[in-house]
Chain A
Amino acid sequence: MMPYVATIAAALFAAPLPLAFINWHSFFFFLFAAVACGFAVAVVAADSVVRMAFYLVLSLGATAGLFFLAGAEFVGAMQLMIYVGGTLVLLVFGVMLTAQAPFVSIKGSGRDSVVAGVVGVVLLAVLLQAALSVASWRQPAAGIVAEPAATPIGMALVGVRVDEPGVGAPARNVRPGYVLPFEIVSIHLLVVLVGAAYLARAKRRKTPRAIEVAASVEPPASVAEHAAIGRDRSRGASVLSGGR
Protein backbone atom coordinates (compact mmCIF):
# COMPACT_ATOMS: atom_id res chain seq x y z
CA MET A 1 0.00 0.00 0.00
CA MET A 2 2.61 2.50 1.10
CA PRO A 3 5.05 2.03 -1.79
CA TYR A 4 2.05 2.26 -4.09
CA VAL A 5 1.13 5.69 -2.74
CA ALA A 6 4.71 6.75 -3.05
CA THR A 7 4.92 5.64 -6.66
CA ILE A 8 1.79 7.54 -7.62
CA ALA A 9 2.94 10.65 -5.81
CA ALA A 10 6.38 10.46 -7.35
CA ALA A 11 4.91 9.91 -10.79
CA LEU A 12 2.58 12.87 -10.36
CA PHE A 13 5.23 15.27 -9.21
CA ALA A 14 8.25 14.04 -11.08
CA ALA A 15 6.61 13.80 -14.48
CA PRO A 16 7.32 17.34 -15.72
CA LEU A 17 10.86 17.63 -14.36
CA PRO A 18 13.14 15.10 -12.76
CA LEU A 19 12.87 16.97 -9.46
CA ALA A 20 14.61 14.24 -7.56
CA PHE A 21 17.89 15.17 -9.21
CA ILE A 22 17.75 18.83 -8.33
CA ASN A 23 20.26 20.05 -5.82
CA TRP A 24 17.96 22.24 -3.73
CA HIS A 25 20.79 24.32 -2.37
CA SER A 26 21.72 25.22 -5.92
CA PHE A 27 18.09 25.83 -6.77
CA PHE A 28 17.69 28.36 -4.00
CA PHE A 29 21.05 29.86 -4.82
CA PHE A 30 19.92 30.53 -8.38
CA LEU A 31 16.59 31.87 -7.17
CA PHE A 32 18.22 34.36 -4.81
CA ALA A 33 20.99 35.15 -7.28
CA ALA A 34 18.46 35.91 -10.01
CA VAL A 35 16.51 38.23 -7.70
CA ALA A 36 19.66 39.95 -6.46
CA CYS A 37 21.16 40.52 -9.92
CA GLY A 38 17.86 41.25 -11.65
CA PHE A 39 16.86 43.95 -9.23
CA ALA A 40 20.39 45.36 -9.14
CA VAL A 41 20.06 45.93 -12.87
CA ALA A 42 16.57 47.32 -12.28
CA VAL A 43 18.05 49.87 -9.87
CA VAL A 44 20.22 51.12 -12.70
CA ALA A 45 17.37 51.14 -15.18
CA ALA A 46 14.73 52.78 -13.01
CA ASP A 47 14.07 56.51 -13.11
CA SER A 48 12.00 57.13 -10.01
CA VAL A 49 14.15 57.29 -6.89
CA VAL A 50 11.65 55.52 -4.68
CA ARG A 51 11.37 52.67 -7.14
CA MET A 52 15.12 52.46 -7.17
CA ALA A 53 15.08 52.21 -3.39
CA PHE A 54 12.46 49.48 -3.54
CA TYR A 55 14.44 47.46 -6.08
CA LEU A 56 17.52 47.95 -3.94
CA VAL A 57 15.64 46.53 -0.96
CA LEU A 58 14.75 43.41 -2.92
CA SER A 59 18.29 43.07 -4.24
CA LEU A 60 19.88 43.45 -0.82
CA GLY A 61 17.30 41.17 0.77
CA ALA A 62 18.06 38.45 -1.77
CA THR A 63 21.76 38.96 -1.07
CA ALA A 64 21.01 38.33 2.60
CA GLY A 65 19.40 35.09 1.44
CA LEU A 66 22.65 34.24 -0.38
CA PHE A 67 24.55 34.87 2.85
CA PHE A 68 22.26 32.48 4.69
CA LEU A 69 22.85 29.88 1.99
CA ALA A 70 26.60 30.27 2.39
CA GLY A 71 26.24 29.55 6.09
CA ALA A 72 26.91 33.12 7.20
CA GLU A 73 23.77 33.52 9.28
CA PHE A 74 25.08 36.37 11.38
CA VAL A 75 26.13 38.43 8.38
CA GLY A 76 22.80 37.72 6.68
CA ALA A 77 20.79 38.86 9.68
CA MET A 78 23.06 41.89 10.02
CA GLN A 79 22.50 42.73 6.37
CA LEU A 80 18.73 42.56 6.86
CA MET A 81 18.80 44.62 10.02
CA ILE A 82 21.31 47.35 9.22
CA TYR A 83 21.32 47.57 5.44
CA VAL A 84 17.72 46.90 4.57
CA GLY A 85 15.99 47.93 7.77
CA GLY A 86 18.20 50.89 8.62
CA THR A 87 20.16 52.33 5.74
CA LEU A 88 17.49 52.02 3.10
CA VAL A 89 14.74 53.37 5.32
CA LEU A 90 17.08 56.29 5.87
CA LEU A 91 17.52 56.66 2.10
CA VAL A 92 13.78 56.66 1.45
CA PHE A 93 13.44 59.16 4.24
CA GLY A 94 15.96 61.30 2.41
CA VAL A 95 14.01 60.95 -0.81
CA MET A 96 10.84 62.13 0.91
CA LEU A 97 12.60 65.11 2.49
CA THR A 98 14.11 66.23 -0.79
CA ALA A 99 11.24 65.55 -3.18
CA GLN A 100 9.61 68.57 -4.79
CA ALA A 101 7.38 67.00 -7.38
CA PRO A 102 5.26 64.05 -6.22
CA PHE A 103 7.42 61.50 -8.01
CA VAL A 104 10.85 62.93 -8.44
CA SER A 105 13.00 61.66 -11.24
CA ILE A 106 16.08 63.32 -12.60
CA LYS A 107 17.06 61.82 -15.89
CA GLY A 108 20.62 61.46 -17.00
CA SER A 109 21.57 62.12 -20.60
CA GLY A 110 21.48 59.30 -23.13
CA ARG A 111 25.11 59.69 -24.11
CA ASP A 112 26.26 59.18 -20.52
CA SER A 113 24.21 56.01 -20.25
CA VAL A 114 25.73 54.57 -23.40
CA VAL A 115 29.29 55.30 -22.26
CA ALA A 116 28.57 53.96 -18.79
CA GLY A 117 26.98 50.87 -20.28
CA VAL A 118 30.02 50.15 -22.43
CA VAL A 119 32.39 50.68 -19.50
CA GLY A 120 30.17 48.49 -17.35
CA VAL A 121 30.15 45.63 -19.84
CA VAL A 122 33.92 45.80 -20.17
CA LEU A 123 34.34 45.83 -16.40
CA LEU A 124 31.93 42.93 -16.06
CA ALA A 125 33.89 40.95 -18.64
CA VAL A 126 37.13 41.55 -16.73
CA LEU A 127 35.56 40.60 -13.41
CA LEU A 128 33.93 37.47 -14.79
CA GLN A 129 37.18 36.41 -16.38
CA ALA A 130 38.89 36.87 -13.03
CA ALA A 131 36.15 35.04 -11.16
CA LEU A 132 36.18 32.02 -13.44
CA SER A 133 39.91 31.80 -14.02
CA VAL A 134 40.99 30.11 -10.78
CA ALA A 135 40.38 26.39 -10.85
CA SER A 136 39.98 25.90 -7.13
CA TRP A 137 37.18 28.48 -7.06
CA ARG A 138 35.30 26.51 -9.69
CA GLN A 139 35.36 23.25 -7.75
CA PRO A 140 31.83 22.33 -6.74
CA ALA A 141 31.23 22.65 -3.03
CA ALA A 142 32.26 19.68 -0.96
CA GLY A 143 29.37 20.51 1.33
CA ILE A 144 31.21 20.76 4.62
CA VAL A 145 28.47 21.94 6.93
CA ALA A 146 29.44 25.28 8.38
CA GLU A 147 29.41 25.63 12.12
CA PRO A 148 27.19 28.40 13.45
CA ALA A 149 29.37 31.48 13.42
CA ALA A 150 27.50 33.88 15.70
CA THR A 151 29.30 32.91 18.89
CA PRO A 152 32.80 32.81 17.34
CA ILE A 153 32.18 36.22 15.72
CA GLY A 154 31.07 37.65 19.04
CA MET A 155 34.10 36.20 20.78
CA ALA A 156 36.40 37.47 18.03
CA LEU A 157 35.00 40.97 18.42
CA VAL A 158 35.84 40.96 22.12
CA GLY A 159 39.30 39.67 21.34
CA VAL A 160 39.24 35.90 21.72
CA ARG A 161 39.60 33.75 18.64
CA VAL A 162 37.77 30.55 19.43
CA ASP A 163 37.60 29.45 15.82
CA GLU A 164 41.32 28.91 15.31
CA PRO A 165 42.45 26.39 17.86
CA GLY A 166 46.22 26.79 17.80
CA VAL A 167 46.52 23.79 20.07
CA GLY A 168 49.75 23.69 22.02
CA ALA A 169 50.86 27.10 20.78
CA PRO A 170 52.21 29.56 23.34
CA ALA A 171 49.71 32.17 24.40
CA ARG A 172 51.27 35.07 22.54
CA ASN A 173 50.87 33.28 19.22
CA VAL A 174 47.11 33.16 19.62
CA ARG A 175 45.68 35.72 17.23
CA PRO A 176 44.33 38.77 18.97
CA GLY A 177 40.90 38.96 17.41
CA TYR A 178 39.18 42.17 16.50
CA VAL A 179 39.08 44.32 19.63
CA LEU A 180 40.90 47.23 18.05
CA PRO A 181 38.86 47.36 14.80
CA PHE A 182 35.73 46.94 16.88
CA GLU A 183 36.63 49.89 19.08
CA ILE A 184 37.63 51.99 16.08
CA VAL A 185 34.32 51.25 14.40
CA SER A 186 32.44 52.10 17.58
CA ILE A 187 34.14 55.48 17.89
CA HIS A 188 33.68 56.00 14.17
CA LEU A 189 29.96 55.38 14.46
CA LEU A 190 29.72 57.80 17.37
CA VAL A 191 31.57 60.48 15.45
CA VAL A 192 29.40 59.87 12.41
CA LEU A 193 26.26 60.15 14.51
CA VAL A 194 27.34 63.48 15.96
CA GLY A 195 28.60 64.71 12.60
CA ALA A 196 25.44 63.78 10.74
CA ALA A 197 23.28 65.45 13.36
CA TYR A 198 25.48 68.56 13.13
CA LEU A 199 25.38 68.66 9.33
CA ALA A 200 21.64 68.17 9.04
CA ARG A 201 20.59 70.40 11.92
CA ALA A 202 18.14 73.18 11.34
CA LYS A 203 20.11 76.38 11.00
CA ARG A 204 19.01 79.89 11.69
CA ARG A 205 19.70 82.05 8.65
CA LYS A 206 19.43 85.72 7.86
CA THR A 207 18.77 85.23 4.18
CA PRO A 208 15.99 82.92 2.99
CA ARG A 209 17.17 79.54 1.86
CA ALA A 210 17.08 78.66 -1.81
CA ILE A 211 14.30 76.18 -1.18
CA GLU A 212 12.20 78.91 0.42
CA VAL A 213 12.81 81.21 -2.51
CA ALA A 214 11.76 78.43 -4.85
CA ALA A 215 8.67 77.77 -2.80
CA SER A 216 7.45 81.34 -2.56
CA VAL A 217 4.57 81.45 -4.99
CA GLU A 218 3.58 85.00 -5.81
CA PRO A 219 5.66 88.00 -6.86
CA PRO A 220 5.62 90.85 -4.34
CA ALA A 221 3.37 93.06 -6.50
CA SER A 222 0.23 91.19 -5.59
CA VAL A 223 1.23 91.24 -1.94
CA ALA A 224 1.41 94.99 -2.14
CA GLU A 225 -1.99 95.06 -3.79
CA HIS A 226 -3.49 93.01 -1.00
CA ALA A 227 -1.91 95.30 1.54
CA ALA A 228 -3.38 98.29 -0.22
CA ILE A 229 -6.81 96.71 -0.18
CA GLY A 230 -6.42 96.01 3.50
CA ARG A 231 -5.45 99.61 4.18
CA ASP A 232 -8.42 100.92 2.24
CA ARG A 233 -10.80 98.73 4.15
CA SER A 234 -9.45 99.78 7.50
CA ARG A 235 -9.65 103.45 6.57
CA GLY A 236 -13.24 103.31 5.46
CA ALA A 237 -16.02 101.65 7.44
CA SER A 238 -15.97 97.99 6.48
CA VAL A 239 -16.97 94.60 7.64
CA LEU A 240 -13.50 93.95 8.96
CA SER A 241 -13.31 96.88 11.34
CA GLY A 242 -16.81 96.40 12.62
CA GLY A 243 -18.34 99.44 10.88
CA ARG A 244 -16.87 101.98 13.21
Chain B
Amino acid sequence: MLLGLSFAVPLFGLLTEPVSVAHYLVVGAILFVSGIVCMAIKRNALGVLMGIELVLNGANVNFVAFASPYLQGTGSRSLGLDGQVIAVFVILLAAAEAAVALAITLNFYNNHATVDVDRADDLKG
Protein backbone atom coordinates (compact mmCIF):
# COMPACT_ATOMS: atom_id res chain seq x y z
CA MET B 1 0.00 0.00 0.00
CA LEU B 2 2.81 2.35 0.92
CA LEU B 3 4.54 1.68 -2.37
CA GLY B 4 1.33 2.39 -4.23
CA LEU B 5 1.01 5.69 -2.40
CA SER B 6 4.52 6.68 -3.27
CA PHE B 7 3.79 6.03 -6.92
CA ALA B 8 0.55 7.93 -6.64
CA VAL B 9 2.35 10.97 -5.32
CA PRO B 10 5.34 11.47 -7.57
CA LEU B 11 6.86 14.09 -5.28
CA PHE B 12 6.95 11.58 -2.49
CA GLY B 13 9.37 9.41 -4.42
CA LEU B 14 11.76 12.35 -4.41
CA LEU B 15 11.45 12.67 -0.67
CA THR B 16 12.40 9.11 0.11
CA GLU B 17 15.64 9.11 -1.86
CA PRO B 18 18.81 10.84 -0.74
CA VAL B 19 19.72 13.95 -2.70
CA SER B 20 22.58 13.93 -5.18
CA VAL B 21 24.91 16.52 -6.62
CA ALA B 22 22.53 17.00 -9.52
CA HIS B 23 19.84 18.28 -7.14
CA TYR B 24 22.18 21.04 -6.05
CA LEU B 25 23.16 21.78 -9.63
CA VAL B 26 19.50 22.29 -10.53
CA VAL B 27 19.07 24.76 -7.69
CA GLY B 28 22.26 26.50 -8.77
CA ALA B 29 21.00 26.70 -12.34
CA ILE B 30 17.70 28.25 -11.30
CA LEU B 31 19.46 30.84 -9.14
CA PHE B 32 21.89 31.59 -11.96
CA VAL B 33 19.19 32.07 -14.58
CA SER B 34 17.10 34.21 -12.20
CA GLY B 35 20.14 36.39 -11.71
CA ILE B 36 20.81 36.70 -15.44
CA VAL B 37 17.19 37.63 -16.18
CA CYS B 38 17.23 40.06 -13.24
CA MET B 39 20.34 41.76 -14.61
CA ALA B 40 18.77 41.96 -18.04
CA ILE B 41 15.36 43.41 -17.26
CA LYS B 42 15.89 45.65 -14.24
CA ARG B 43 16.53 49.28 -15.00
CA ASN B 44 17.26 50.13 -11.40
CA ALA B 45 21.02 49.96 -10.82
CA LEU B 46 20.49 48.32 -7.45
CA GLY B 47 18.26 45.70 -9.08
CA VAL B 48 21.08 44.87 -11.49
CA LEU B 49 23.39 44.54 -8.48
CA MET B 50 20.99 42.08 -6.88
CA GLY B 51 21.00 40.06 -10.10
CA ILE B 52 24.78 39.84 -9.88
CA GLU B 53 24.53 38.59 -6.31
CA LEU B 54 22.12 35.88 -7.44
CA VAL B 55 24.43 34.77 -10.23
CA LEU B 56 27.41 34.52 -7.88
CA ASN B 57 25.29 32.64 -5.41
CA GLY B 58 24.19 30.14 -8.03
CA ALA B 59 27.83 29.49 -8.86
CA ASN B 60 28.58 29.08 -5.15
CA VAL B 61 25.89 26.42 -4.81
CA ASN B 62 27.67 24.40 -7.48
CA PHE B 63 31.06 24.78 -5.81
CA VAL B 64 29.72 23.66 -2.46
CA ALA B 65 27.85 20.74 -4.00
CA PHE B 66 30.96 19.45 -5.73
CA ALA B 67 33.01 20.01 -2.59
CA SER B 68 30.71 18.10 -0.28
CA PRO B 69 31.73 14.50 0.40
CA TYR B 70 28.27 13.96 1.85
CA LEU B 71 26.53 14.35 -1.51
CA GLN B 72 28.83 12.18 -3.56
CA GLY B 73 27.62 8.81 -4.72
CA THR B 74 29.58 5.69 -3.97
CA GLY B 75 32.90 5.63 -5.68
CA SER B 76 33.07 9.25 -6.88
CA ARG B 77 35.41 11.74 -5.26
CA SER B 78 34.46 15.18 -4.06
CA LEU B 79 36.34 18.37 -4.87
CA GLY B 80 37.29 18.49 -1.21
CA LEU B 81 38.32 21.62 0.56
CA ASP B 82 39.13 23.51 -2.63
CA GLY B 83 35.47 23.98 -3.50
CA GLN B 84 34.62 25.40 -0.11
CA VAL B 85 37.60 27.75 -0.11
CA ILE B 86 36.66 29.02 -3.56
CA ALA B 87 33.10 29.58 -2.33
CA VAL B 88 34.50 31.62 0.57
CA PHE B 89 36.57 33.72 -1.84
CA VAL B 90 33.54 34.26 -4.05
CA ILE B 91 31.55 35.54 -1.07
CA LEU B 92 34.38 37.91 -0.11
CA LEU B 93 34.74 39.27 -3.62
CA ALA B 94 30.97 39.65 -3.92
CA ALA B 95 31.02 41.82 -0.81
CA ALA B 96 33.84 43.93 -2.25
CA GLU B 97 32.05 44.21 -5.58
CA ALA B 98 28.83 45.30 -3.88
CA ALA B 99 30.65 48.01 -1.96
CA VAL B 100 32.25 49.47 -5.08
CA ALA B 101 29.09 49.14 -7.16
CA LEU B 102 27.11 50.88 -4.46
CA ALA B 103 29.64 53.70 -4.34
CA ILE B 104 29.38 54.06 -8.12
CA THR B 105 25.59 54.04 -7.90
CA LEU B 106 25.63 56.76 -5.24
CA ASN B 107 27.95 58.82 -7.37
CA PHE B 108 25.69 58.32 -10.37
CA TYR B 109 22.72 59.33 -8.26
CA ASN B 110 24.53 62.48 -7.18
CA ASN B 111 25.16 63.45 -10.78
CA HIS B 112 21.94 62.36 -12.45
CA ALA B 113 19.36 62.33 -9.63
CA THR B 114 18.27 58.84 -10.63
CA VAL B 115 19.48 55.26 -10.44
CA ASP B 116 17.96 54.29 -13.77
CA VAL B 117 20.76 52.67 -15.74
CA ASP B 118 19.19 53.66 -19.06
CA ARG B 119 19.84 57.30 -18.21
CA ALA B 120 23.58 56.70 -18.07
CA ASP B 121 23.97 57.68 -21.72
CA ASP B 122 26.16 60.75 -21.43
CA LEU B 123 28.75 59.35 -23.81
CA LYS B 124 26.21 58.49 -26.50
CA GLY B 125 27.16 60.08 -29.81
Q: Which residues of A contact B (CB under 8 A)?
A: 17-18, 21-23, 25-27, 29-30, 33, 36-37, 40-41, 43-44, 49, 52-53, 56, 59-60, 63, 66-67, 70-72, 74-75, 78-79, 82-83, 86-88, 90-91, 93-95, 97-98, 100, 104-108, 112-113, 115-117, 119-120, 123-124, 127-128, 130-132, 134, 136-146, 149, 152-153, 156-157, 161, 163-164, 178, 181, 185, 188-189, 192-193, 195-197, 199-200, 203, 209-211, 213-214
Q: Is the CB of B21 within 8 A of A137?
A: yes
Contact A91–B36 (Cβ < 8 Å): no
**Chain B residues near A43 (CB-CB < 8 A):** 34, 38, 50-51, 54
Q: B120 at the A/B interface (Cβ < 8 Å)?
A: no
In the complex, per-residue mask of B82-100: 1 if CB is within 8 Å of any chain A CB, else 0: 0011011101111110111
Report yes or no: A70 in contact with B76, Cβ–Cβ below 8 A.
Answer: no
B80 contacts A30, C-beta separation under 8 Å? no
Using CB atoms, name the residue of chain A closest to B11. Answer: A30
Mostly, the A contact residues are helix
A107/B84 contact (C-beta < 8 A), A63-B61, A124-B30 known: no
Query: Which residue of the partner chain, among A18, A116, A210, contacts B113 with CB atoms under 8 Å?
Result: A210
Tell me whether A52 and B20 are in contact (CB under 8 A): no
Query: B95, A131: Cβ atoms under 8 Å?
Result: no
Contact B81 A199 (CB under 8 A): no
Say whether B68 contacts A72, CB under 8 Å: yes
Could you tell me if B106 and A152 are in contact, using CB atoms closer than 8 angstroms?
no
Q: Contacts A193-B99, A196-B99; is A141 near B20 (CB within 8 Å)? A: yes
Per DSSP, are chain B's interface residues mostly helix, strand or loop, or mixed? helix
Establish whether residues A124 and B33, one from each chain, have CB atoms under 8 Å apart when the complex forms: yes
Let me know if A37 and B30 touch, CB within 8 A.
yes
Partner of A106, one of B40, B44, B98: B44
User: With A and B bound together, what is the CA distance between A185 and B1 in angstroms?
Assistant: 57
With A44-B37, A199-B100 in contact, do A156 and B81 touch (Cβ < 8 Å)? yes
Q: Assuming A43-B34, A91-B46, is B16 touching A138 (CB within 8 A)?
A: no
Query: Does B47 contact A49, Cβ atoms closer than 8 Å?
Result: yes
Residues of B within 8 A of A83 (CB): 53, 57, 91, 94-95
Q: Are B44 and A104 in contact (CB under 8 A)?
A: yes
Cα distance A18–B74 in the bound complex, in angstroms: 27
Q: How far is the CB of B41 from chain A (nearest CB, A)?
A: 5
Q: Looking at the complex, which one of A40, A90, A97 makes contact with B54 (CB distance below 8 Å)? A: A40
What is the CB-to-nearest-CB distance from A87 to chain B, in angstroms, rounded to a whole number?
5
Contact between chains at A78 and B91 (CB < 8 Å): yes
Bound-state CA distance A140–B60 (Å) is 21
Task: Please give the distance in Å from A58's CB to the nearest CB on chain B.
Answer: 12
Q: Which residues of B contact A211 (CB under 8 A)?
A: 109-110, 113
